[in-house]
Amino acid sequence: MEIVYFPGCTLKTTALSLETSALSVAKALGLEIKELERWNCCGTVYSLATDDLMKQVASIRNLIYVQASGHREVMTLCSMCYNTLAQANIFVRKNKKYLEKINAFMEEEPDYKAEVEVKHFLTLLKELGAEKIREAVKNSLSGLKVACYYGCLLLRPKEVRIDDCERPRILEELMECLGAEPVYFPYQTECCGSYHTAVKPDIVARRVYQILNNAKENDADLIVTSCPLCFFNLKDRQRDIKKIYPDFKEIEVAYFTQIMAKALGV
């Protein structure tokens, strides 16, 4: 069955590795992924104001494109895109009069009927089933201690979460299918600092130091993540951490799809 896919801005440029690894993994698992023909930036962060409908337009326009393509579901790889699209979707579903206003504003596009479901790649993989993934593994990752970092936007708020927000298991179960050994570390759902990296990178450095240290104390060899911003904060800010804490030892960070690609031999 064909699944339509919304990449989002970052996956085509700075996070290209996330996209290529994900697409090849999907192919190896027999999932047909087709990119949306027309899409624009989703807006990155869901606007928390109930009175500013302008900020929802970008997300809704994307959902209209999905609707126009004839598909009922859209898959995203980036946690931020997932969260923004999913929350915008719920917002217009709860407030029909806002949906009417937005539809009226976008007079060129067809009206959005609020029937599209937004899904993250991890949910799709879970639905595929552990068996199928295990069968496709060519190089088992046994011996690899992986710390699964979820960040914020996959698990919060309650309405859009893909797993329990205190003790999620979805990434751990995936890693187990690949033969790796997931290690629990309590900071796996702590925020990395997100957009502060653009303005005050020292804040991010201090946050990420805590997170990475916690992972290392729990014997992790590698950290996997799903969000390009978390990836950047956890990986590229490690040199900023070294400026503040010179004793800090670096640790490898990867996208979960990169690990999957390695295990599936693609």
Binding site for other proteins (CB under 8 A): 8-10, 13-15, 41, 43-45, 47-52, 55, 78, 80, 152, 155-158, 164-167, 186, 189-191, 193-199, 201, 203, 206-207, 217, 228-229, 231-232
DSSP string for 196-244: GGGT-HHHHHHHHHHHHHHHHHTT-SEEEES-HHHHHHHHTTHHHHHHH
Closest distance to other proteins from the beta carbon of 48 (Å): 4
State in Å, rounded, how far the first CA of the chain is from the last one: 21
Q: Which CB atom, from 153 or from 178, has the smaller least distance to other proteins? A: 153
Give min distance, CB of 129 to other proteins, in A: 26
Question: How far, in Å, CA of 168 to CA of 220, rounded?
Answer: 17
Nearest approach in angstroms of CB 149 to other proteins is 13
88 vs 36: CA distance, rounded Å? 18
Q: How many CB atoms lie within 10 A of CB 144?
A: 18
Minimum CB distance to other proteins smaller for 113 or for 200: 200
Provide the minimum distance between the beta carbon of 173 and other proteins in the complex, in angstroms, as a whole number: 17
Enter the DSSP assignment of 191.
-
Q: Which is nearer to other proteins, 180 or 193 (CB)?
A: 193
Nearest residue to 119 (alpha-carbon basis) of 86, 91, 152: 86
Cβ 222 to other proteins shortest distance, Å? 20
Given the complex with other proteins, which of 10 and 123 has the nearer CB atom? 10
- DSSP one-letter string for 34-49: EE-SS-----SS----
Closer Cβ to other proteins, 105 or 184, answer by number: 184
